[in-house]
Amino acid sequence: MGLRHNLGSGFRTAFTDVVFAIADWSQDERFPEPFRDVFVENDNGWRCGDSRPGPDLAAAVVSCATIRTVERPHLLGMQPDDLLAHLTGSGVATRPSEARRILAHVIAAGRPGFPSARPVPARLARAVEATTDRTPLEVLERAVDLRDGFVKYLLRSPDGALSEAVRIPLERPGAFSVCLSSQVGCAMGCAFCATGRLGLRRNLEAWEMVAAFSRLRSEAPGLVTGAVFMGQGEPFANYDAVLKAAAVLADPCGGRIKAESISISTVGLVPAMRRFAREKHRYRLIVSLTSAIQARRDRLLPEVARWPLGELAGALRELHEAVGQRVTVAWVVLGGVNTGADEVAALGELLAGVPFRLNLIDVNDPRPDGFQRATPEELATFRDRLRSLGVPVVRRYSGGAATHAACGMLASRLVGGDRPPRDGSAGLAARC
């Protein structure tokens, strides 16, 4: 079945794309191959799908425009099998190697157009151009922290939605990771998080996450070797899209990132955690606990209060059994709030028998009456107490504070009325 089968099911594109595809086609061919089973010439003239026959092609185009639009899935949200299925489902004969070459050129190499070293047939390039999208995200703002090298980007999607991503320098010179958002805003309402105060606008699509990665990678003064889904939003509230984006990033013809170098963070959506464990993904899951005392955690992370800490601990145990490794627990350190002996005792009881490592993350809250970072003395005492649990404790550096680039702040300033400059960037060449 041809393209007719795929029309009109939700991808945002204008029917004029079809018209331009027709206008571009050379005169010696009857019709663009992807559209041959959509526009058909018979004894009664041209018709579009199930529409009434028209006297000529122009009339068929007008008739078709009133009843359907053309699906245009985004190339950056695809793996080779996806592109192959899309094209063959549209009546375009495609080899698996051709689908791989196209995505290696577009995603792995980050280049426009189509591969030139081992070109694909012109008819295939025209079909991809006519039936898929590759619109990039627009960079509205870059915030560079000269102290630590963190660069935070404010990005705009074609529909105007704003999201953020951060380029993070790693200890090895010339190596970087990218922190990606999964939603526009966030519905979790965590008391210490700026993004939570934005509210949730919508989920990001897989291609938007990959596009953010591609944009930051293209400007990195070195090699991007990892990705973390720890930006705006709760990744497990957008589970399918996040896991698809991770799959594209880990694909040899996609982001070419090792699956083990991709981390996904969650505040503890227990059903999604259990699904993740059942599916046995190779990505690392980081669970933000922040408090092991139920009443306190309910106040700090209100939207996950529906799952008692006992259920969360059970999901962590299932995850450990599935992956056979220590699970990673994140703890946002709030001065005077969650650093006491009561928290250490509760944590030891909650995760007894579950091998885990604890990542300590300093809070970023610019509000005058907001949460404060722990003093060095308070943090040292807390770490000494945690050592009694016999688990690895790592203090994660929280970058970007000098430029007010903590998560959610760029979008918050823009919503507040600032108008940042527009800018663009070039692509990064690489080989799949």
- Known catalytic residues? 164, 407
DSSP string, 176-245: EEEEE-SEEE-SS--TT-TGGGG-EEEEPPHHHHHHHHHHHHHH-SSEEEEEEE-SSS-GGGGHHHHHHH
| Residue with the two structure tokens 């760029």 | 410
Dist CA 432 CA 207 (whole Å): 19
Dihedral sign, Cα of residue 341, residue 342, residue 345, residue 350: negative
Longest dimension (CA), the chain: 87
CA count, 13 A, side-chain hemisphere, 254:
27
Answer whether 209's CB lies under 8 Å from 171's CB. Answer: no
Judging by DSSP bridges, how do beta strands 183-185 and 200-203 pair with one another? antiparallel
> In this structure, how many other beta carbons lie within 10 angstroms of the beta carbon of residue 394?
11
Q: Kindly give the residue spans of alpha helices, DSSP state H, lying in 220-340.
A: 239-250, 270-279, 294-300, 309-323
Q: Which residue type, as a one-letter code, is found at position 109?
A: A
Dist CA 255 CA 387 (whole Å): 38
- 130 closest CA partner among 31, 53, 263: 31
Dist CA 96 CA 79 (whole Å): 11
For the record, the structure tokens of 213 come out as 């990665």
Provide CB contacts within 8 A for 324, sequence distance 6+. none
